[in-house]
Amino acid sequence: MKTPNLIPSQPLSVALPRPLYLKLGAHLYSEFEQRVPHGAYSRFMINLLQGYFHNVALDLAPYADVAPGSCLVSGSPETIALLKKTLGEKFTFGGTDADFAALGSIFGD
């Protein structure tokens, strides 16, 4: 006898463009079972949605010469915090005027 789930599920009907549906089916296909395993679509969607709601995004516009919103990266809050720290350190110039002049000559400014 099947044991009940601790967290009840709710059926969801989703329509995907056929090329995307075929690509997803090929990704989930099991050579051993010769089909997409039972529950594979649900597991895929659950993992995808949990990642979506857990991750945060960082706009790279303040760190690069790009339009706001054109270059976004996403990841766990810890990863994005580390990336912000690393980018902040990399783009902080604490040199002397002579160092700055030397950089200008290197970059042709």
pLDDT at 108 over 60: no
**pLDDT value of position 63:** 85
Q: Domain segments of the chain: what residues?
A: 15-54, 55-109
- How far are the Cα atoms of 13, 19, 41, 48, 91 from residue 28, in angstroms, in the given order? 18, 14, 8, 14, 42
More confident residue, 63 or 103: 63
Q: Do 90 and 105 touch, CB atoms closer than 8 A?
A: no
pLDDT tier at 106 (50, 70, 90 boundaries)?
Answer: low
Q: Could you tell me the pTM of the whole model?
A: 0.62
pLDDT digits (tens, 9 = 90+) for 3-59: 777 889 999 999 999 999 999 999 999 999 999 999 999 999 999 999 999 999 999
